[in-house]
Structure 1
């Protein structure tokens, strides 16, 4: 089905694409000479970029995104691409090409079936074709589109809600939304360890630690790197949401206390002003009454004086 991927004009490029870094290192240690074909690390990077490019190219040719499908926005296609282009699915395609029997890994024979090694090998073969086909993008499209179709067949097995939800993306989006408000400075550490009690072909597992701050970190172990990492980010997202809820509750409580104090201050000020105004009114009233009495007294005295004057005339 994918046999054309192994058809090279320049066979040296194919040999290099099938040569893992481990093989090159062991060759130098044994012979003291550089391995003439080098290793496939740079080809692997090229292959990753080509797969991502032609994934979107394939979807565009199929008429996506459009509002009548489940892929309504470009971001929907990107999320699907992130979900499908991984070591697990690429290594399965590599197995169909029998790359586990072709890849060179020195004496580390157990690595021939390692998903990461096989995935890198497939990407390296694709990357090497870019140079073998002299940068002809049309020829590369014919080579890579069948791989994209195979990946999309895998995508049909994944429910829409499942692939659209990405805990890592949701975590980073939430963190960016409240940037600087939660006191979070995440640091991710990924370790690959071996343990004879782990029942897989390499007796290995991933230990992934996400340090959120100096007081809190999340650590999980698992055989599948992606799933373990997503589980870590899922738990971290739950923690952030709880932290944000507590922060909002504290702010509401503080605001409520501030409002109560403000009301009390305003009430005391109002009472003080009313008292002052009332006292001033009383004083004014008393003063006015006093003046009226004085005016009345003067008037009576004047009348009496007039009457007395008339009486003696």
Structure 2
């Protein structure tokens, strides 16, 4: 089961999965997922904007707006809903089920938004609890993300990664000339997040050494989080 469906409060998850058509047919159901859908939509809009802003520091506002829209449009959210297993978990009225509701992009996307809102509430309104799960889904949208990922400076990638995982201050680089000649020097850079040493790199310039340090640190931290 996907982590987005692991709730401490099962009633909250049930509400997120309950369409108003189901609640109408079952008088014992006291609420549906419409308010949670509204809330989840706001959370996804924020996280997607933050995600693109940190991942693509070279990107302008218009392009970020276009890509954010692609991340949270109906068909894409419906795909996310299927990936986490929401399709046949949706609680729909009999009429919607007969009409193929379990495969409706509109219903799937709305339910996904509701589950996101409910999960945030279930985890004590802690954005850090839900952010990695949403990032994981966003990472799998190649036409939106990976087309330009290779052009992003490793230092920016590393900064985006550590900030997305709770760091407040940006990474700090300590770079020194350690060898070579005046015409072909060699620099060594060490990168820290707070007081924690994260990686080291070498290069023929300070800039290259810092990029290599960021690559090393990013690879190490991602491996540790896998």
Tell me, yes or no, whether TM beats 0.5.
yes
Q: Which has the higher contact order (CA 8 A, sep 6+)?
A: 2
Correspondent of 1:145 among 126, 135, 140? 135
**Structure 2, gaps ≥5 residues long:** 149-226
Q: Which residue of 1 aligns with 2:38?
A: 45
The answer to whether the aligner puts 1:65 opposite 2:57 as a matched pair is yes
C-alpha distance in 2 between matches for 1:10 and 1:147:
23
Number of aligned pairs?
145
CA distance in 1, matches of 2:74, 2:2: 20
Matched, 1:55 2:48: yes
Alpha-carbon distance in structure 2 between the residues aligned to 1:79 and 1:86: 10
1:98 Cα deviation from its structure 2 partner: 2.3
Asked if 1:12 corresponds to 2:16, the answer is no
Query: Cα deviations across residues 97-127 of structure 1 (Å, max 9, x unaligned)?
Result: 2211100112121211110000111111101
Shift of 1:24: 0.8
Taking structure 2 as the reference length, what is the TM-score of the superposition?
0.59
Distance of 1:137 and 1:74 partners within structure 2: 24
2:68 is the alignment partner of 1:81: yes
User: Does 1:98 pair with 2:92?
Assistant: no
Please tell me the root mean square deviation across aligned C-alpha atoms, in Å. Answer: 2.1
Q: Which has the larger radius of gyration?
A: 1
Q: CA deviation at 1:74?
A: 2.2
Determine if contact 1:88/1:119 at 8 Å carries over to the other structure.
yes
SS of structure 1 residue aligned to 2:139:
helix
Cα distance in structure 2, aligned partners of 1:153 and 1:45: 27
Deviation sequence 1:191-244 (CA, Å, 0-9, x none)? xxxxxxxxxxxxxxxxxxxxxxxxxxxxxxxxxxxxxxxxxxxxxxxxxxxxxx
In the alignment, is the contact (CA less than 8 A) between 1:47 and 1:125 conserved in 2? yes
**Aligned counterparts of 1:61 and 1:7: Cα–Cα separation in 2:** 28
Structure-1-length-normalised TM-score: 0.43
Q: 1:136-177, CA deviations, whole angstroms, 9 ceiling, x for partnerless residues? A: 121121222112223x32426999xxxxxxxxxxxxxxxxxx
Shift in Å at residue 87 of structure 1?
Answer: 1.3
1:123 matches 2:110: no
1:155 corresponds to which of 112, 126, 144: 144
State how far apart, in whole Å, the 2-side matches of 1:144 and 1:98 are.
Answer: 14
Greater share of residues in helix = 1
**Do 2:2 and 2:85's aligned partners in 1 also have CA atoms closer than 8 Å?**
no
In structure 1, the residue matched to 2:2 is 3
2:82 is paired with a residue of what secondary structure?
Answer: helix
- Runs of 4+ more than 6 Å apart: none
What secondary structure does 2:26 align onto? helix
**What is the rounded CA distance, in whole Å, between the counterparts of 2:65 and 2:81 in structure 1?**
23
Q: Aligned match of 2:103 in 113, 116, 135?
A: 113
